[in-house]
Amino acid sequence: MKEKTTHFGYQQVDWDEKQRRVAGVFDSVADNYDLMNDVMSFGIHRLWKRFAIEQSGARPGQRILDLAGGTGDLAARLSRLVGPQGEVVVGDINASMLNVGRARLLDQGITGNLSFVQANAEALPFPAGSFDCVTIAFGLRNVTDKQKALASMYQVLKPGGRLLILEFSSPVVPGLQQAYDLYSFRILPLMGRLVAGDEDSYRYLAESIRMHPDQQKLAEMMRAAGFEDCDYHNLSGGIVALHRGFRY
């Protein structure tokens, strides 16, 4: 029987191999993750994340799950919005990223309403109806079985809860795709080598973006997982999109 395969960037790998390879990428980039985000987006990632926070509807007392929580950019803002009576759970499959995020937020004095859980988005270890909101920023494209992950996110949301997916997507402005390809495949790996000493991980980043479902396809996948009122906002000409869906 032939092994099931999936993509790791442009490579085809065994289904069970992708998770290990993605873990290797983020083990490699964890210490320079914030610096590289600023360098490769020219700081614009902060505006994308601010818009996602505005769409979260986060209010005092709510419980929010921030998946692929990285180094805590969203969690820091969300923790202030939910206040001492609320909670933000930072979930990430990668221990290196969780450790960097925990240390960073501790340095900022943000500890009281935060917890950290090493978790696979495809099988979230929380009871059904645990959260008012689930956010995942720049993480879904690295998940092996995205449809299974979306179903798991739906399951842990309360009725009336919302999912926000902030992710690289497909440019919609005429002429932008060519410039974006040049940047992604020539300049971005060079930045990775010069700034982080890691060209291969940032080449994978560019390839993984191209393999990710486009705006319409991702919205369809969300509906298939049970989400309703699904919509999306293109940011920076569609280089990034924020998808939103609700569990009723």
For residue 210, what are the domain limits? 5-173+201-246
182 within some domain: no
Report how far apart, in Å, the C-alpha atoms of 176 and of each of 30, 40, 188, 234, 236 are. Answer: 29, 17, 16, 13, 10
179 within some domain: no
Q: Is the pLDDT of residue 2 over 60?
A: no
The residues facing 232 across adjacent strands are 243
CA distance 30 to 33: 5
Q: What CATH number is given to the structural domain containing 28? A: 3.40.50.150
pLDDT band at 3; cut points 50, 70, 90:
low
Count up the domains in the chain and report the number.
Answer: 1
Q: For the chain, what is the mean pLDDT?
A: 91
Q: Is the pLDDT of residue 93 over 80?
A: yes
- Per-residue confidence (pLDDT) for residue 42, from 0 to 100: 87
Q: Of the given ranges (31-35, 43-47, 180-184), which has the lowest mean pLDDT? A: 31-35
DSSP string of 155-207?
Answer: HHEEEEEEEEEEEE----STTHHHHHHHIIIIIHHHHIIIIIS-HHHHHHHHH
Q: What integer is the mean pLDDT of 51-60?
A: 97
Q: What integer is the mean pLDDT of 63-68?
A: 97
